[in-house]
Amino acid sequence: MSDVDSSVSLAVVSLIGRVLLSAIYLLSGLSKLAAPAATIGYITSAGLPFAPLGLAIAVGVEILGGTALILGYRTRIVAAILAIFTVATAFGFHSNLADQGQFIQFFKNIAMTGGLLQVVAFGAGRFGLDARST
């Protein structure tokens, strides 16, 4: 395999990884838009204040962040924001580790954060808008 083939392969894998990481954020953000009252109720039940503001922030981070991550736009910053958001939601909504469902959700968020930190470290790769500015 030539260096060019290897470079393209890595760029394709990077793009696929960004799309797969983004999918959960886009789906979650769109589901919050579809049922805002349920989301506000869930935020309130977690004991967090300002539930409508929390909903707006979550929808913005998930939809805008997910879209920017796919496009490779300001990828490292976006991935860092999503990582912080994901850890915050793990602790805010899934911290009852005695409950197996919460345990799984908590560590799913932590694993997703690991993937996002890889994006922070290595950027979008060749197939992203960030590559156009260099």
Write out pLDDT tens, residues 90-133. Answer: 999 999 999 999 999 999 999 999 999 999 999 999 999 998 86
Q: Which helix (H) or strand (E) holds 16?
A: helix 3-34
Query: Which DSSP category does 96 fall into?
Result: -
| Averaged pLDDT of the chain | 94
Give tens-digit pLDDT for 46-69. Answer: 999 999 999 999 999 999 999 999
What's the rounded Cα separation, in Å, for the pair 15 and 47?
A: 37
Query: Which DSSP category does 82 fall into?
Result: H
Task: Read off the pLDDT of each residue in 12-24 and give the average, rounded to a whole number.
Answer: 96
Q: Which helix (H) or strand (E) holds 73?
A: none
pLDDT of residue 134: 55
Pair 85, 79: CB distance under 8 Å: no
Task: Read off the pLDDT of each residue in 1-15 and give the average, rounded to a whole number.
Answer: 83
pLDDT band at 1 (very low <50, low <70, confident <90, very high): low
pLDDT of residue 40: 97
